[in-house]
Homo-oligomer: A and B are copies of this chain.
């Protein structure tokens, strides 16, 4: 029997073995009625010795003979602390290479100084540019950005929202996926008072704050421009019917037609799911008509580029036979041949404004201002629509 002392009464005689627990011998002291095992490693010491140990405010305090409280307050310029200690604490912090544990800080005052951003994907310059805008403003205001991609799938989006919320982001900026028609997953959190900003593609719920392009006005500008160029029959290629941008841009198309008292042909209004095939199919259908459209307005620049490539393959002159216009002002539009006429929606600005709206929300704690912010864009005219020079 090994000489084991009871940690309580320090006696040896009264100890007897009492089975194993977690692979270790367990002892029992008859006197104190106390079960225990040996091998107490000092966890504290263990942690301190770790290679990547970071100094804490407590370390600074010990080194200076003051409390952690004072160190914390000194670093934050709290009025209770004297100037002299503030200075010396700050010096010591630098000397000891102190870096605050932002995780601990966030946890303590339960705000992470982080926003979550969900975008459909990062392949499209469109979305990445918005993300860039968000990140820029976030960074300028001391916020970090936690980002996710929904890959245009509803279930991914839902999962991402929960992940970000569980990570206790201070707010959420989201551009919904194409599939999303139910917005409960964000509304739950919005009702709890967490700032949620929609951008570009929008939750139709009237209570949300959203930042969108001037879809209707933009479409109006483009259509007006095409008519000015002498186009008589304009085809419009839209996205899925469920998307608000589809709805709004169609509205612009219709508005201008009405304004000029032009009759609308239903065959000239086409919906797609953004895939190459669905787009080409429509163009081919139009080309087969007796009276082809003399202009095609596309829901996006990418769509327009697909159309242009297809028309070129078929040896159709752009813009002479058919003018083409896009929407968005993607970088590519400037580089292709012919240059693409489009409406610049200011993607980066949309991102920046979204983040700004979040910041306003945080400042304005008193009730949330439900607003739709539209970002001014402008028409970009290039060769693809210039019938008259």
Contact with B along A97-117 (1 / 0, CB 8 A): 001111110110010101000
CB A104 to nearest CB in B, in angstroms, measures: 6
Contact between chains at B139 and A129 (CB < 8 Å):
no
A166 at interface by CB-CB < 8 Å: yes
- Docked complex: A131-155 residues within 8 A CB-CB of B: 131-132, 135-136, 139, 144-149
A289 at interface by CB-CB < 8 Å: no
Asked whether A99 and B165 contact (CB < 8 A) given A107-B104, A121-B132, A128-B128, the answer is yes
Contact with B along A251-278 (1 / 0, CB 8 A): 0000000000000000000000000000
CB A97 to nearest CB in B, in angstroms, measures: 9
Contact between chains at B132 and A168 (CB < 8 Å):
no
A192 at interface by CB-CB < 8 Å: yes
A194 at interface by CB-CB < 8 Å: yes
Residues of B within 8 A of A165 (CB): 99
Binds B, one of A177-185, A213-221, A290-298, A331-339: A331-339
A305 at interface by CB-CB < 8 Å: yes
A51 at interface by CB-CB < 8 Å: yes
A230 at interface by CB-CB < 8 Å: no
Residues of B within 8 A of A125 (CB): 123, 125, 128
Copies of this protein chain in the complex: 2
Q: Which of B99, B145, B194 touches A166 (beta carbons < 8 Å)?
A: B99
Asked whether A102 and B168 contact (CB < 8 A) given A132-B121, A132-B149, the answer is yes
CB A160 to nearest CB in B, in angstroms, measures: 8
CB A125 to nearest CB in B, in angstroms, measures: 5
Contact between chains at A168 and B101 (CB < 8 Å):
yes
Contact between chains at A51 and B122 (CB < 8 Å):
no
Contact between chains at B167 and A149 (CB < 8 Å):
no
CB A118 to nearest CB in B, in angstroms, measures: 11
A52 at interface by CB-CB < 8 Å: yes
A193 at interface by CB-CB < 8 Å: yes
A73 at interface by CB-CB < 8 Å: no
Contact between chains at B122 and A149 (CB < 8 Å):
no
CB A339 to nearest CB in B, in angstroms, measures: 10
Listed A/B pairs (26) with beta-carbon separation below 8 Å: A51-B192, A99-B166, A100-B166, A101-B107, A102-B168, A103-B103, A103-B106, A103-B107, A103-B110, A103-B167, A104-B107, A107-B107, A122-B128, A122-B131, A123-B125, A123-B129, A123-B348, A125-B128, A128-B128, A135-B149, A139-B148, A144-B163, A335-B335, A335-B336, A336-B337, A337-B337
Mark A residues whose CB is within 8 Å of B: 51-52, 99-104, 106-107, 110, 112, 114, 121-123, 125, 128-129, 131-132, 135-136, 139, 144-149, 162-163, 165-168, 192-194, 305, 309, 331-332, 335-337, 348
Further contacts, 12 of them, CB under 8 A, given A102-B167, A123-B128, A125-B125: A52-B194, A99-B165, A101-B107, A103-B107, A103-B110, A107-B107, A128-B131, A132-B149, A332-B335, A335-B335, A335-B336, A336-B336
